[in-house]
Amino acid sequence: YVEDVWGVGIRARPDENGIVRREVVENCIKELLEGEKGKEIKKNVIEWRDLARVAVRQGGSSDRNIEEFIAKLVKIRNFRG
């Protein structure tokens, strides 16, 4: 999900024995820090960060969802007495 959907990571693929080799991890880190994929990841991270900030600020979608959840809990509590 992190790599394929969100575009903010690089998958370190295991070998035929299910082991992720040191060289694979090293190559992933180099690509992240120096490669084109790393630049794309940085761009995506900034986009996701900005979307998260909008969602959690007052009036954002996460803020509204929490308010609705609390309102339902209060309603249930008041209903039960």
End-to-end alpha carbon distance in the chain: 44
Compute the distance between CA of residue 24 and CA of residue 16 in angstroms, rounded to an integer. 13
pTM of the model: 0.68
Residue 40 corresponds to which amino acid?
E
Domain locations in the chain as residue ranges: 22-80
pLDDT tens over the chain, length 81 residues: 999 999 999 999 999 999 999 999 999 999 999 999 999 999 999 999 999 999 999 999 999 999 999 999 998 878 776
Compute the distance between CA of residue 63 and CA of residue 80 in angstroms, rounded to an integer. 26
